[in-house]
Structure 1
């Protein structure tokens, strides 16, 4: 076999991002994590592990940009703020875990953002001079 197919490489990338998000979730809960890294890890893990995206995937191109750009950048920033030995422990624990966590808080945050945006849109249309 000369190499992996594109679908296998994408699956590998998805697995790596899931492990990294799980490690960020573990970092957010670990008392050894520095406070700034913990705050960022909470936000990144909540968004990455949320079953609902800020930009739904059915919106062509934009729906995938958050998964392909925002999540990796957030994970990279979390990784940079955590000391190497601690990250190695967290990453090993995330890799060994059978189940990945799901973030209800992230889902609620995304739903609240959408509700807020829809409310703003509704009131801007309702109060516009063209209505």
Structure 2
């Protein structure tokens, strides 16, 4: 039962982190946020949404450690730079947006097809060597 509680806690933290990152995206566009916080937050949000990591995810253990360390630390720093009232508003907006977010099956399909093509090309290149 202890392992189950551990995973439930991690899922809650991941969901909160996802909401915070979207709230930070909304906050960096707010005129009440200082310029240095905007720059830092924009870089953090770009890193979070980017498919490119400092250490690629396919590298065992290290690939996910950068996401487990960089993102939470970055969010913590960004939250300290942004005025509390702005973050409260942005968290509310993010919560509403994430609740009502549409599912885009076309975009998901395009991404799956892209990765399947990459895998097929890789297999063909390996066979032809």
TM exceeds 0.5?
A: yes
What's the offset of the Cα at 1:5?
2.8
Length, aligned pairs only: 100
What's the offset of the Cα at 1:71?
0.6
The answer for the alignment partner of 1:13 in structure 2 is 13
CA distance in 1, matches of 2:9, 2:52: 24
Determine helix, strand or coil for the equivalent of 2:52.
Answer: coil
Equivalent residues in 2 for 1:89-100 (5 A)? 89-98=89-98, 99=101
CA distance in 2, matches of 1:5, 1:56: 29
Unaligned runs of 5+ in 2: 103-129
State the 4+ residue runs in structure 1 displaced beyond 6 angstroms.
none
The answer for the alignment partner of 1:55 in structure 2 is 55
Post-superposition Cα deviations, 1:96-125, rounded to whole Å, max 9, x if no partner, equal 21339xxxxxxxxxxxxxxxxxxxxxxxxx
Determine helix, strand or coil for the equivalent of 2:51.
Answer: coil
Moved more, 26-35 or 50-59: 50-59
Output the TM-score relative to the length of structure 2: 0.68
The answer for the alignment partner of 1:80 in structure 2 is 80
Write 1 or 2 for the structure with the bigger share of helix.
2
What's the offset of the Cα at 1:59?
1.0
Unaligned runs of 5+ in 1: 101-131
Output the TM-score relative to the length of structure 1: 0.67
Answer yes or no: is the 8 Å Cα contact 1:21–1:49 preserved in 2: no
The answer for the alignment partner of 2:24 in structure 1 is 24
CA distance in 2, matches of 1:14, 1:51: 17
